[in-house]
Amino acid sequence: MKLSVKAPAKINLSLDVLHKRDDGYHEVKMVMTTIDLADRVELTELEEDKISLESSGGYVPSDNRNLAFQAAELLKKEFNLTNGVHIVIDKQIPVSAGLAGGSSDAAATLKGLNQLWDLGLSLDELADLGAKIGSDVSFCVYGGTALATGRGERIESIQAPPPCWVILAKPSIGVSTADVYRKLKIKEVEHPDTHSMLEAIEDKDYDRICSTLGNVLESVTLKDHPEVLHIKKQMTRLGAEGVLMSGSGPTVFGLTVHDTRAQRIYNGLRGFCNEVYMVRMLGESE
């Protein structure tokens, strides 16, 4: 049997880091939402007891360094399964971009194999398993829009923000998430107002959502990579109503409700950034 699962990217509307915990993880508070930019994960049952993986587009590992591979491995180990699977990832989400591409592939694999292997696990159970692979996997299991706390694995789903265009631009630089967290000076930087963001979403107040966007990790990435700040300025100059870096970067997204403005921002950015996308905010889990 064969199954194909959509694996959407996420953006952070708000990302705060509260403190470093004794276990080495950071305590975070994030508002995340899915966007209509997605990988496709195709799962084919194998007769033999093995996992294989191939991926198109962008360099991603095809062994157990791949988070989708780890998801299949985890299910086999947890439930003592001898099932085999061949995983094909059609990569559309830029890699190492702050858009949780790998985590979303892992979540799609968990959900798909739950069906393919008839495991009968609930979304909550899949999200708990996902947390063992990576902090963003739990959110990706639920999708939609959520407040994520703990190290990012405690998910409270909330309603979707009002629909709008999301223009994403990723400069061709590599950003190490671990590095960004290490360099973050939690006590010295300005923190986003998560509560206000949650209220703005609850009130469906698009303007307030735009003015409340905030990501504490910008304090590190923008300093190390001025090109990210440059893209933010261009997005604003081209008319985006709200602009923010997603995750630890380097992708920047701009929001607009206006069709022609969205096209203008997209065209304007393509001039000096070769990875630019124009998609809809999904917000609702599918």
Contact status: 97 vs ligand ATP (CB under 6 A): yes
Interface with ligand ATP by CB under 6 A: which range of 90-98, 143-151, 157-165, 183-191?
Answer: 90-98
Q: How many positions of this chain bind ligand ATP (CB under 6 A)? A: 20
From 255, 24, 19, 26, select the one nearest 136 (Cα to Cα).
Answer: 26
Q: Indicate the residue among 66 and 194 with the shorter CB distance to ligand ATP.
A: 66
Alpha-carbon gap, residue 100 to 66, rounded angstroms: 13
Can residue 177 be called a binding residue for ligand ATP (CB under 6 A)?
A: yes
* Residue list for the binding site: 94-104
Taking alpha carbons only, the member of 128, 143, 117 closest to residue 10 is 143
- Decide: is 241 part of the binding site for ligand ATP (CB under 6 A): no
Which range in 16-24, 88-96, 138-146, 228-236 contacts ligand ATP by CB under 6 A?
Answer: 88-96
Which H/E stretch holds residue 5? strand 2-20
Is 257 an interacting residue with respect to ligand ATP (CB under 6 A)? no
CA atoms within 13 A on the CB side of 94: 22
Shortest Å distance, C-beta 245 to ligand ATP: 11
183 is an active site residue: no
Burial-class residue 21 by CB neighbours within 10 Å (0-12, 13-18, 19+).
exposed
Give alpha helix (H) positions in 188-251. 194-202, 206-212, 218-224, 226-237
Within residues 2-61, the interface with ligand ATP by CB under 6 A covers 60-61
> Which of 16, 39, 105, 136 is labelled catalytic?
136
Tokens linked to 195: 């509560």
Among 32, 67, 127, 184, binds ligand ATP (CB under 6 A): 67
Annotated catalytic residue 76: no
Just list the catalytic residues.
Answer: 10, 136
